[in-house]
Every structure is written in structure tokens, then in C-alpha cells.
Amino acid sequence: MAVPRPVGRYVHERRFGVLRWGGMCTNGARGTAGAGDPRDHGRVPELPEVEALAAFLRASAVGRVLTRADLAAVQAIKTFDPPLSALGGLEITRARRHGKFLDLDVSGVHLVVHLARAGWLHWRENLPTAPPKPGKGPLALRVHLDDGNGFDLTEQGTRKGLAIYVVRSPSEVPGVARLGPDALQVDRETFAALLGGRSGQLKGALTDQTLISGIGNAYSDEILHAARLSPFKMADKLSDDELVRLYDAVRATLTEALERQVGQRAATMKGEKRSGLQVHARTGLPCPVCGDTVREVSFADTSLQYCPTCQTGGKPLADRRMSKLLR
């Protein structure tokens, strides 16, 4: 199959856009997700899930020979040299993570994947030998190993963002090259300096992969809740005590999530993530710390959840767009 040469830059991190109304339902219940619902409900892969997938592949795929890779979604492949066929017949020697990118080292040729919002890895035993039909269903890529097993990379929904790269070095992937320090490796002094130089809100700072890599929408909500900080507080206005609380919350939240995830099979990781969330994707439910109602602010293509009592002095965050509508 001829693979078109990619044109332009590919950006896989969603940025906070124009505010739109999306708070708690009037009856206090959680809203129903529709096709345009910006909430991810805790399903989007972030640092703990991608690291757990890498650990799973280290146990299940490293040491095996990759016999074939079948592309089912042409739009998912973002590179053309080396070709996808270059992976065939090579031994998988390493599996690791860069931010939220998964990197499979296949004897010096790297298969790098960004799962975006709705992508996932499914381990398969006794894969069918017939190649999949392109464009049918959520399947993007099927990887065959020499023992008959392998894995599928899939992406649900109509908004496609899953990206696959075949490169000689992970640094050839634009998103990897732009990554800031890893959220679980950055030291306290560097963390404070990065935030001190950022003139923007904390929520956006934590999810900016060029500033600190690995944290996405769900865990940024969880981190800010654990640190008792408003998502709208300015990053460069934190006191020394607030910086300490935030840094400690980053370490604790991600470490605890990773401990829950590592050792899980790929099929159970998403459920494990959702079971550990305190505020994210829990709009309208009681905060497990104080009992207040978890609230939400929605943006053009994402949303955040928070506890007013724990994070904003008991005051709900204002939705500026709704305020304008009520004037």
C-alpha cells in the first residue's frame, strides 16, 4: 500500500480554548457524554498508563521478533522513511516511554506511538494471519510477533489523533523533541523555576508538554485537588508553600497511579485509572475528601473538574462566557 508523505507539523496535545458553558447539571447529576462532549471520563492515556503499557510490552514483547506490521488506518502513519516494512524480521529490544509517547525499539528502528485521546493498545493471542481491511473499524495498526501473538493499536470515535512514527531515533518525532522534563524525573528546583517563568494558569502549565511532560487532563485535575490549588491560579504567582504542595502532589499522584497500573494487563488499565480518580470525571458527585459537590468548567474541546471547598475557598469558579450571556 502506498503511504502518502506527511505534510506540515503534527500536534497531538489539545490546548485550552474558548470557554463555553458546561457546569454541573441542574439536578446535580453527571451529564451524558455525547459525540461532542469534551470530557474524557478518565480514559485518555497519560504518563502512568503509557508507562504501564511500556512495562507490559517489556514483559510480553521484548525479545520476540516482529514478523509483520499491518497498517489499517493510513492517516495514522506520520513518517515514510524508514518504511513500516523495515520493522519486519527484527527483534524487539526495548520498550519505554517519552512523556505520553510509547517507544518500541526494534533493533535500532523505533516504532513510536502517541495514543491521543481515544487510542489504546490491545494485546492479542493467536492473531489472524490475514491482513486487516484498511479503513474498517477502529483498528489503526496490527503488530505480529514470531510466537503468533501480537497487539492492535486502535482508536475509537470519529476524531482521529492517534499517530504512528517509524524513525531511527525518537528525537526525530517532533512531539518527542519538544518535550519538557519528565514529570516523575524533574527535581524540585527545576520544577519551581519552570513554573516561575510561566505566565499562565496552573491547569494549562501542568498540561503543557513542552514545559513538563507526561501530565494530561485527568491527572492535572487530580494533582491540583491534592495540592489544594485552584486550576485558574497563575503559575508564576505561587508562594513557596504552594510550590512545595504542588510538587509533592505531582510526585504522589503520578507515583500512586503508576503503582496501581503496573502489572495490570492492557485490557484492565483504563478501569483501574478511573477507579482511583478523586475529582476528574466526577462532576456532580461528592468530593471524597470534604463531601462538597465536584464542579466542572468546560472549554471548546476539553473540561476540568475541581472541588470548591478543597481548592477555591468554597467559591465556584466563574464561567466567563456564561456570565456574558446573563448580562
What residue ranges do the domains of the chain occupy?
A: 19-39+180-326, 48-172
Distance of CA 63 to the CA centre of its chain: 27
The residue count of the chain comes to 327
Q: What is the pLDDT of residue 319?
A: 64
Name the residue with cell 503508576: 258
Calculate the alpha carbon distances from 285 to 1, 20, 38, 273, 278 in Å.
49, 21, 18, 17, 10
Q: What is the pLDDT of residue 117?
A: 92
For residue 257, the tally of other CB atoms under 10 A from its CB is: 23
Q: What is the pLDDT of residue 276?
A: 85
The dihedrals phi and psi of 44, each to the nearest 5 degrees, come to -75, 130
Q: What is the pLDDT of residue 22?
A: 30
Q: What is the pLDDT of residue 164?
A: 98
The correct answer on CATH 3.20.190.10 for the domain covering 48-172 is yes
Rg, the chain, Cα only: 21
- Tell me which of 1.10.10.10, 3.40.50.2020, 1.10.8.50, 3.20.20.100 is the CATH number of domain 19-39+180-326: 1.10.8.50
Residues of the chain with pLDDT under 50: 1-39, 321-327
Q: What is the pLDDT of residue 135?
A: 81
Q: What is the pLDDT of residue 7?
A: 34
Q: What is the pLDDT of residue 288?
A: 97
Q: What is the pLDDT of residue 41?
A: 55
